[in-house]
């Protein structure tokens, strides 16, 4: 069983290695993992937002192990504060006892950590943790060290003291692991497994095939195919305390990424989130830390919020204080109050101030989107922030801002709206509360209440814009797309270039007038396809959110079919990986091009050879309804969205157009039509057919579908025609017939 599937079995306390940091109560739970459950409030709150780093010291001097330090925190002396365990780049382990308090740590000079008389494990990079792996309820010493080895030393201490046997049990792990490792009961079978990183960036899971008394780790298998850019340092934690284990991953370049385990499928750990500085920018400590970031989490100041601690190549240890939600709210209120009269002006001229204000909102949004704020706390966040809209109406309510003089105010208001909306569970009633708080009326209010969409345009949309947007979005299957914000960047001024609105999901449309016409099909279409540019742009951008975002989870078969269509359009000379959704296999493609005499093998000439291959070839120009297939190979995210241009412009015309292309020998177009029709149908036997007219006129009809035993569409019956298909393989059409309905006049 794969680690992804096995992780769904996790229950109770599975990740003792993290919770060991928190308190004596946690230690007791670790000693008896089957008999203890701790309430969420016993643990410090997680956050994605951290203050600038401070160096941990002994006296006035920085802790310095000279080379490649790894860190763990544990109440070693059981005095209710956290002590530092560190591995160095020379194979030695060190204890820095906290002689201060839980609130104010003060570290004493280093003492060696030993197992009997053993005080060294190899001669290079070393990692350490304490875990109950051998029989009794005592915590054992686990060391990852040179020689691709992990060694466990049994705790033989008495009366709660930590004393480790000199002779250990050693296991082989992946190459170049050294100190890059963690331990957790990943598969939920009651035994602790190893998760290892490596210098090359690969992660592996080593299941414990032994017993609670006698561990035996299996050979490593890929951990969700996650690949870091060198020096992958894993920490396995239940970061958001939802009962599922997550991954915190440090890398060579100074950043730390969180992979939340939010679903039950194989992709559950692929949804990554970077940790952030307090200004909302991505956290990175390479400038002070050197290569190699070794993340650890602990509430080092005992303020109820987890802090980030990291060692690295330069041998020092850095503490980044986690910023709690209540303090961020208080800071935001204070900044608004203090600068109420000249907020717009100061945002324009003071870069540091702007980063601070936007950073507070961005970090709140990141924590909300990451599921890191419990519902009760999120509801309080809404009640704390909502009154600010009335108190600072010129700044936070919907209105037309002067983007020339105050280019950042519409962006600030928009980010504030996003946070308010994200703080409440999504429902019609809660959407109305948000609309009331921020002054959304008429068409803006309908878009928010009916669809949950914040339309952000600096109050520039006409009534006709809003009405036709609502009409189109009503006609699109609601479960096919998931959008929180729609932004018209061109109507928001220069501020949008330097300040991004952070949202869970959002799209940008162009500031086009309603009524501008567009010919949406090439000249060989059966008839001219004239439609409205503004609404085509909206449909296109929403379609980006359809298959590649929503459908990737709900219809993975169709997501894969998109790439099968791309492969068909590209032809056999372009070789795709398996599965095809992994993209083009460029090494194999280059080898094939060289064999065919299409490339001379000189790396500097590859781009030219690749570009030239697709030039002036009818098959590539006509493999998509619009544009040469090379564009979609280089930007596969555009493939489905561009199909939507045609489908929403005129679904019947697109079907007719596919038949014209089919008769001319172009086989890929009809497969693209079936792909979008199948997705919009939701797997059912009906699908909307659209006609978008200039000026926003929208006509929606229904086409009936029939399917075979493999759920493939075998016919499409529209109000004017019937199309029948037979398949050449699993997803691609081999026969295609189209005829008008006999009773159609």
Alpha helices in 339-374 (DSSP H): 343-349, 351-369
Average pLDDT per block of 10 residues along the chain, 745 residues long: 40 32 32 31 77 93 92 91 93 95 92 96 92 85 93 90 93 91 88 92 92 88 82 89 86 88 61 81 87 90 92 91 90 93 91 91 88 88 96 94 93 96 96 97 97 95 94 94 94 87 89 86 78 91 93 91 94 94 95 96 95 92 89 93 91 94 93 95 95 87 96 96 93 93 66
- Other residues' Cβ atoms within 10 Å of the Cβ of residue 125: 27
CA torsion, ordered 122, 127, 128, 132, to nearest 10 deg: -100
Q: What is the pLDDT of residue 65?
A: 92
Query: What would the two tokens of residue 52 be?
Result: 């600038």
Whether cis (ω within 30° of 0) applies to the bond prior to 533 is no
- Other residues' Cβ atoms within 10 Å of the Cβ of residue 5: 13
- Other residues' Cβ atoms within 10 Å of the Cβ of residue 604: 7
CA torsion, ordered 307, 311, 316, 322, to nearest 10 deg: -10
DSSP 411-444: HHHHHHHHHHHHHS---HHHHHHHHHHHT--HHH
Q: What is the pLDDT of residue 350?
A: 93
Residue with tokens 């030695």: 92
Please check whether residue 711 is in contact with residue 683, taking contact to mean a CB–CB distance below 8 angstroms: yes
- Report the predicted TM-score, pTM, of the whole model to 2 decimal places: 0.80
CA distance 372 to 15: 18
Tell me the C-alpha to C-alpha distance, in Å, between residue 515 and each of 432, 455, 492: 31, 20, 22
Please check whether residue 700 is in contact with residue 663, taking contact to mean a CB–CB distance below 8 angstroms: no
Burial of 419 (0-12, 13-18, 19+ CB in 10 A): buried
In the chain, the N- to C-terminal Cα span, in Å, equals 59
> 465 Cβ partners below 8 Å, 6+ apart?
443, 514, 534
Q: What is the pLDDT of residue 180?
A: 92
Please check whether residue 626 is in contact with residue 522, taking contact to mean a CB–CB distance below 8 angstroms: yes
DSSP 98-141: B-S-SSS--BPPPEE--BTTB---SSS--EEEEE--SSSSSPEE
Please check whether residue 37 is in contact with residue 316, taking contact to mean a CB–CB distance below 8 angstroms: no
* 29 phi/psi in degrees, rounded to 5: -65, -35
Q: What is the pLDDT of residue 270?
A: 63
Query: What would the two tokens of residue 170 be?
Result: 């050693």
Query: What would the two tokens of residue 16 be?
Result: 């003792």
3-state class (DSSP) for residue 637: helix
Please check whether residue 449 is in contact with residue 429, taking contact to mean a CB–CB distance below 8 angstroms: no
Q: What is the pLDDT of residue 264?
A: 56
Q: Is the dihedral of CA 491, 495, 496, 500 positive or negative?
A: negative
CA distance 501 to 631: 28
> 531 Cβ partners below 8 Å, 6+ apart?
517, 518, 520, 648, 649, 650, 692, 693, 694
Tell me the C-alpha to C-alpha distance, in Å, between residue 38 and each of 260, 608, 702: 21, 61, 54
């Amino acid at each position: 069983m794969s680690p992804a599937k096995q992780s769904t079995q996790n229950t109770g306390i599975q990740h003792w290695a993290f919770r060991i940091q928190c308190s004596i109560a946690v230690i007791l739970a670790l000693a008896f993992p089957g008999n203890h459950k701790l309430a969420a409030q016993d643990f410090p709150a997680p956050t994605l937002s951290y203050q600038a780093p401070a160096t941990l010291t002994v006296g006035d001097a920085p802790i310095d192990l000279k080379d490649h330090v790894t860190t763990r925190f544990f109440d070693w002396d059981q005095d209710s504060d956290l002590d530092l365990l560190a591995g160095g780049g020379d194979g030695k382990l060190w204890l820095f006892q906290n002689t201060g308090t839980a609130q104010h740590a003060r570290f004493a000079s280093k003492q060696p950590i030993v197992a009997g008389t053993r005080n060294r494990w190899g001669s290079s990079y070393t990692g350490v943790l304490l875990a109950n792996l051998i029989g009794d309820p005592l915590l054992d010493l686990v060391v990852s060290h040179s020689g691709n080895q992990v060694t466990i030393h049994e705790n033989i201490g008495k009366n709660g003291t930590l004393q480790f046997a000199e002779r250990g049990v050693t296991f082989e792990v992946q190459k170049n692991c050294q100190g890059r490792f963690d331990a957790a009961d990943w598969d939920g079978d009651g035994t602790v497994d190893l998760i290892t990183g490596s210098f090359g960036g690969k992660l592996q899971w080593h299941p414990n095939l032994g017993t609670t008394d006698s561990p035996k780790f299996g050979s490593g298998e890929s951990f969700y195919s996650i690949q870091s850019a060198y020096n992958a340092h894993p920490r396995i934690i239940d970061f958001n305390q939802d009962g599922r284990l997550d991954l915190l991953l440090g890398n060579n370049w100074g950043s730390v990424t969180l992979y939340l385990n939010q679903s039950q499928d194989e992709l559950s750990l692929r949804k990554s989130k970077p940790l952030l500085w307090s200004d909302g920018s991505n956290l990175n400590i390479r400038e002070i830390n050197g290569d190699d970031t070794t993340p650890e989490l602990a509430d080092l100041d005992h303020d109820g919020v987890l802090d980030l601690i990291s060692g690295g190549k330069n041998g020092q240890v850095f503490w980044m204080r986690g910023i709690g939600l209540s303090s961020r709210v208080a800071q935001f209120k204070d900044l608004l109050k203090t600068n109420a009269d000249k907020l717009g002006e100061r945002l324009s001229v003071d870069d540091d101030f702007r980063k601070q204000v936007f950073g507070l909102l961005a970090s709140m949004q990141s924590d909300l989107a990451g599921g890191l704020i419990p519902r009760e706390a999120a509801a309080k966040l809404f009640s704390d922030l909502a009154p600010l809209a009335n108190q600072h109406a010129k700044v936070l309510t919907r209105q037309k801002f002067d983007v020339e003089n105050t280019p950042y105010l519409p962006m600030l208001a928009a980010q504030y709206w996003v946070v308010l909306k994200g703080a409440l569970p999504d429902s019609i009633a809660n959407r109305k509360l948000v609309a009331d708080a921020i002054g959304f009326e008429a068409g803006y209010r309908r878009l928010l209440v009916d669809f949950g969409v914040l339309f952000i345009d600096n109050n520039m949309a006409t009534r006709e814009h809003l009405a036709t947007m609502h009409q189109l979005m009503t006609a699109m299957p609601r479960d096919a797309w998931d959008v929180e914000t729609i932004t018209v960047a061109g109507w928001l001024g220069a501020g949008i270039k330097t300040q991004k609105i952070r949202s869970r999901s959002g799209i940008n449309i162009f500031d086009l007038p309603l009524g501008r016409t567009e010919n949406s099909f090439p000249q060989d279409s059966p008839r001219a396809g004239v439609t409205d540019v503004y609404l085509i742009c909206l449909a296109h951008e929403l379609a980006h959110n359809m298959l590649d975002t929503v459908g990737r989870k709900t219809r993975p078969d169709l997501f894969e079919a998109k790439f099968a269509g791309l492969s068909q359009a590209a032809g056999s000379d372009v070789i795709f990986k398996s599965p095809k959704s992994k993209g083009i296999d460029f090494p194999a493609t280059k080898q094939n091009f060289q064999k065919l005499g299409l490339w001379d093998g000189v790396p500097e000439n590859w781009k030219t050879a690749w570009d030239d291959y697709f030039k002036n070839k009818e098959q590539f120009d006509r493999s998509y309804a619009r544009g040469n297939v090379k564009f979609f190979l280089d930007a596969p995210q555009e493939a489905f969205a561009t199909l939507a241009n045609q489908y929403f412009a005129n679904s019947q015309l697109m079907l007719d157009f596919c038949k014209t292309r089919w008769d001319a020998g172009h086989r890929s177009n009809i497969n693209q039509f079936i792909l979008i029709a199948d997705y919009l149908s939701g797997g059912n036997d009906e699908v909307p057919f659209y006609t978008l007219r200039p000026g926003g006129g929208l006509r929606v009809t229904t086409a009936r579908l029939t399917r075979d035993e493999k759920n493939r569409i075998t016919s499409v019956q529209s109000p004017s025609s019937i199309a029948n298909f037979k398949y050449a393989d699993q997803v691609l059409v081999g026969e295609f017939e189209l005829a008008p309905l006999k009773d159609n006049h």
